Structure 1
Amino acid sequence: MFTLYNAAMWWKLKSDPIFTIQGAADLSRRAWVVSVMEEKKDILAVQTLRNSTMAATFLASTAILLSVGVLSLTGQAENVGTTWHSLNIFGSTEQSTLALKLLVLLVNLFIAFFSFSSSIRLYNHVGFMLNVPSIDGNYSSSMTFVAMQLNRAASHFHFGMRAFYFMVPLVFWIFGPLLLLVSTGAMICVVYFLDRTPKMYCDYMTPFSIKSCKLE
């Protein structure tokens, strides 16, 4: 269900680039690269990339720590299995099933870790590329490449966050398949609310005499 939801969002972005906040942010990052490289905003670029790198580093560290925690639970499956299966109405209570659930959860956390790690790597590359001098005053080729790499870094970060979100249904799956279905449906509703680009009102900034209109 969660995979189908993300596939539907990806397909929707093909026809409407600003349907989700990720699509709108993609366009904003392209404009940011142009602004930074043309106006030589080196300090702004360093600070922004540093913040993004710190966030990805924190989440990557969290993912690997959670992975270690899950690994420690695999050795205690027999002791905690009875408690975890107390809410399991019709699902299997075999130890092998519990081990499979923990393995899937572990793989999901490793996916999150590698996604955030790749994001950090790309953010570091972008930090160097932003300050590459132009050739004959022409930034067009380098701007395109930098913007593509920056959005690749953001995509890896986004994928890592998706893995974190998917961790919630996987945790409930340990307690039974019914809770897996319920938590997946609830997570899809929450993620859809977070994904949708907020509607913009042209008079939102009127008290400050700043013109603001809907994104086109």
Structure 2
Amino acid sequence: MLDILSPHALDLMCLLASVAMFTLYNVFIWWKLKSNPIFTIQGATNLARRAWVVNIMEEKNDILAVQTLRNSTMAATFLASTAILLSMGVLSLTGQAESLGNTWHTLNVFGSTQQSTMALKLLVLLVNLFIAFFSFSSSIRLYNHVGFMINVPCADGNYSSSLTFVAMQLNRAANHFHIGMRAFYFMVPLMFWMFGPLLLFGGTLMMIIVVFILDRAPKMHSDYIITYEQKSCKLR
């Protein structure tokens, strides 16, 4: 086993380090949201979606609900289609791993240049794209469910039409969309990995910095969030 892995040692170490860094970053964001729901723009929009569900179901804004959910579904559909098309492109590259390796390994000074290493890189990239595809597909499925539930009149004892349940499903759909976008972001350092393992490590660091800047909610007077809390339902 060691003889098989030894040629890919540096590549595997950089891959594990990159996955660990990206995982720790997301754990950090999750931990910060527990104490500060508006630490990231995702946390603020989770509160906004909860308030939106309350407003839609109480004011009976059916047309606005359908239009908003349609836009979200279209965005998820486009990205799911993009992910599966990119997956087909990666699969087509597997038959050209040897010829592509001669070009892509020009900058690869320290990593392995074996054909099996290139196949491993393409496999990891393919898995990442499938994660994105299934995440966006799950998001589409949940948005469709919300489209039906949000137009059902609220009734005491009917859990499936309650404000809390609808808001939970809407936020679940958004969370699946968020996971798909994270997979798309991680595709950037994986593409750099084609040119060398050190570029994978450096690309992951740069990607985390950029994603943190994009994730961080603007620093401003946050009393506006009180309106969301007052109008939104409590999620357990």
With normalisation by structure 1, the TM-score equals 0.91
Is the counterpart of residue 83 in structure 1 residue 103 in structure 2?
Answer: yes
Deviation at 1:2, TM superposition (A): 1.3
The letter of the residue matching 2:43 is G
Change beyond 3 A, Cα 1:32–1:91: same
CA contact (8 A) 2:90 2:126 kept: yes
1:130 is matched with 150
Of 171, 194, 209 in structure 1, the residue corresponding to residue 191 of structure 2 is 171
Of 43, 47, 71 in structure 1, the residue corresponding to residue 63 of structure 2 is 43
The letter of the residue matching 2:152 is V
Of 3, 12, 17 in structure 1, the residue corresponding to residue 37 of structure 2 is 17
Of 106, 120, 129 in structure 1, the residue corresponding to residue 126 of structure 2 is 106
Greater Cα shift, 91-100 or 127-136? 127-136
Within 2, Cα distance between the matches of 1:108 and 1:157? 14
CA contact (8 A) 2:138 2:176 kept: yes
Secondary structure class of the residue paired with 1:28: helix
The letter of the residue matching 1:67 is S
Change beyond 3 A, Cα 1:46–1:141: closer
Of 62, 68, 71 in structure 1, the residue corresponding to residue 91 of structure 2 is 71
Q: Which runs of 5+ in 2 are unaligned?
A: 1-20, 227-236
The letter of the residue matching 2:94 is T
1:143-165: per-residue Cα shift (whole Å, max 9, x none)?
A: 00000000000000000000000
Secondary structure class of the residue paired with 2:219: coil
Of 115, 120, 133 in structure 2, the residue corresponding to residue 95 of structure 1 is 115
Within 1, Cα distance between the matches of 2:189 and 2:183? 11
The letter of the residue matching 2:139 is S
1:40-78: per-residue Cα shift (whole Å, max 9, x none)?
A: 010110010000000000000000000000000000001
Of 46, 50, 56 in structure 1, the residue corresponding to residue 76 of structure 2 is 56
Is the counterpart of residue 158 in structure 1 residue 166 in structure 2?
Answer: no
The letter of the residue matching 1:44 is L
Q: Which runs of 5+ in 1 are unaligned?
A: 203-212
Within 2, Cα distance between the matches of 1:71 and 1:140? 42
CA contact (8 A) 1:200 1:214 kept: no
Secondary structure class of the residue paired with 1:93: coil
Percentage of identical aligned residues: 80
Deviation at 1:214, TM superposition (A): 5.4
Within 1, Cα distance between the matches of 2:160 and 2:77? 31
Q: Say what the alpha-carbon RMSD is for the aligned residues.
A: 1.8
Deviation at 1:182, TM superposition (A): 1.2
Secondary structure class of the residue paired with 1:87: coil
Within 2, Cα distance between the matches of 1:18 and 1:138? 31
Is the counterpart of residue 2 in structure 1 residue 2 in structure 2?
Answer: no
Within 1, Cα distance between the matches of 2:109 and 2:72? 43
1:104-146: per-residue Cα shift (whole Å, max 9, x none)?
A: 0000000000000000000000000001122269999610000
CA contact (8 A) 2:111 2:197 kept: yes
Report how many residues are paired.
206
Deviation at 1:13, TM superposition (A): 0.9
